[in-house]
Structure 1
Amino acid sequence: METTISITKGWQYPRFTFGQRTERGQIIGLKYYAEGTYLAEEYGTGWRYILLPDKNREDEEHCIEDELELLTPQELRTQIQAEIDSYSRLLELLKSELRAIPITVATAKSTAENEKPSEKKQQFSISEPNLHSLIDAAQFILKEIAKHPDFLTLEYQPDLTVGDAQTALDYLQSGLEDIQKFDITSNIFP
């Protein structure tokens, strides 16, 4: 069921709705200054929109209808695609963090089918993620750091750079692959 909002008789209908994206931010609220009220006499009759210019800040902006323009379809697509890309990178990062967590499973054993499980529990531990997964996660994080706008604006001149860290991870990964090739070869040709 879709929620509806009733507008008082005599009030004009708003041109914009909750959640729409404008050039100045997303609409998160509306106020109406009704004719004959102090606010309408002071600021003019009509709708005022509360905008959130940046979802990562709590600052709001208040605008009248004439000050707002919706994003063009292309601008809207670009903005939404950028958010999807950002969330996709975050999702990949979270997946790599999740893979890095050792898993412990607790089970209960009962002595007979009809009895309640005993108080004694067995612990099974699943092994830690392999080193390749950790290297992949680290490389992903370094790539995200290297292209982050805050990092790009820094005037940061360390002795070792993000590129140096990426190169070190590449060497580590290639060393692991060499060891695995050697292990496979030594098992085939004893």
Structure 2
Amino acid sequence: METSKIITIPNHWTSPKYSLGQHTKQGIIVGVQYYLFENLLAPERDGSWRYAVLVSSEDEQVDYIPESQIRLLSSPELRLEMESEIDFCQRKIQNLQQHLETM
């Protein structure tokens, strides 16, 4: 069972626009980090969010991308990506089932 986690963001920070697990043109968001500007003692100065994006699941390549450079997938692009991921998983299940049958 998965437990809920609550993350509190200080009032003087902006909220992140994107969330963990969200698919973008660059990849899947796997992390979020807030970067303060030079003066840590000035809460009125906004910082910025950066996202850890899994660019390639094959070699686990992660890029860190500023919020302003994140580009979301269109609905058709997201649908195509999801269908591709489903096909991949179904092939993997079939391969595992075949392997089980040969045991």
TM over 0.5: yes
1:52 aligns with 2:70: no
Deviation at 1:82, TM superposition (A): 0.5
- Root-mean-square deviation (CA), in Å? 1.6
Number of the residue aligned with 1:84:
86
Please state if 1:97 is matched with 2:102: no
Partner Cα separation in structure 1 for residue 35 and residue 97 of structure 2 = 48
Query: Which residue identity does 2:35 align to in structure 1?
Result: Y
**Could you say which residue in structure 2 is the equivalent of 1:13?**
15
SS in 2 for 1:89: helix
Hey, which of these two has a bigger chunk of helix by percent? 1
How many pairs were matched up?
95
Determine the C-alpha separation between the residues in 1 that align with 2:100 and 2:60: 30
Matched, 1:26 2:18: no
For the residues of structure 2 that align with 1:90 and 1:59, how far apart are their CA atoms?
22
Gaps of 5+ in 2: 41-45
- Structure 1 spans left out of the alignment, 5+ residues: 38-43, 102-190
Taking structure 1 as the reference length, the TM-score comes to 0.47
Describe the superposition over 1:98-139 as per-residue Cα deviations: whole angstroms up to 9, x where unpaired. Answer: 1111xxxxxxxxxxxxxxxxxxxxxxxxxxxxxxxxxxxxxx
Query: Given the two structures, how large is their TM-score scaled by the length of structure 2?
Result: 0.83
What secondary structure sits across from 1:13 in the alignment?
coil
Shift of 1:4: 2.4
Once the two structures are TM-superposed, the CA of residue 96 in structure 1 deviates from its matched residue by 1.1
Query: How much has 1:57 moved relative to structure 2?
Result: 1.4
| Identity score, percent | 31
Structure with more relative contact order (C-alpha pairs < 8 Å, separation 6 or more): 2
> How do 1:86-165 residues align onto structure 2 when only pairs under 5 Å count?
86-101=88-103
Q: In 1, are the aligned partners of 2:13 and 2:47 still within 8 Å (CA)?
A: no
